[in-house]
A = this chain, B = another copy of it.
Amino acid sequence: MNFLIQNLGQGLQQLEQLAGDPLWGYFQAVAGPDQQISPRELQQCLTSSGIAGTYQPFSLNTCYIMIAMLDRDRSGQMGFNEFKELWAALNQWKTTFMNFDRDRSGTIEGHELHQAVTSFGYNLSPNALNVLLGRYGENGRVKFDDFVALCVRLRALTAQFQQRDTARNGHATFQYDDFIQVTMSL
């Protein structure tokens, strides 16, 4: 009985929070009755929300890995809580990107990428930064969409690495099947 009342109370509180949450409208309109967002729905949702601003809208590939980053049950879909988490991360990445893309050309360059990545707390070698620039840049310039893909993967791969770096000494051992699951999921 207490349990039911408690649950009802929590349910009402959640509903109130949702009603006041400006993201709930976007989410609900796109997710449909299953209340889960697929990569294609996320692409529509982010495009209509205008979060990319004057930058190119997100590619389907970037939407896939955005979902994979937060998809703890590996359903390939995204619920509202994950969506809010993504929204917060996206806003941080956008602010950082705009800080460095001063001329609003839609791209940042190598040394700016270094500063951006360092500002997120990553400590990467010049070789690793060149790998990122080679993979996500075109002629040494990184577009917003690719910058987000880079941030998503760097964040998720670092988290997976740290989970396995139990001694916290910058080394982690992977079993082959686990390595493939971690690296091929996004």
Residue among B61, B76, B124, B185 making CB contact with A180, cutoff 8 Å: B124
| Interface residue SS majority, chain A | helix
B173 close to A171 (CB less than 8 A)? yes
Interface residues on A, range: 35 or more
Q: Let me know if A172 and B173 touch, CB within 8 A.
A: yes
Q: How far is the CA of A183 from the CA of B128 in the complex (A)?
A: 10
Report copies per complex.
2
**B contact residues around A31 at 8 Å (CB):** none
Residues of B within 8 A of A68 (CB): 134-135
Q: How far is the CA of A109 from the CA of B176 in the complex (A)?
A: 24
Q: Encode contact with B along A93-137: 1 for CB under 8 Å, 0 otherwise.
A: 000000000000000000000000000000011011011101100
Task: Check if A84 is an interface residue, CB within 8 A of chain B.
Answer: no
Contacts A134-B76, A135-B184; A174 near B172 (Cβ below 8 A): yes
Q: A158 vs B183: C-alpha distance in the bound complex, in angstroms?
A: 10
* Contact call A171/B180, Cβ cutoff below 8 A: no
Whether the pair B74, A131 counts as a contact (CB closer than 8 A) is yes
Using CB atoms and an 8 Å cutoff, list the residues of chain A in contact with chain B: 59, 61, 64, 68, 74, 76, 124-125, 127-128, 130-132, 134-135, 150, 153-154, 157-158, 161, 165, 170-177, 179-186
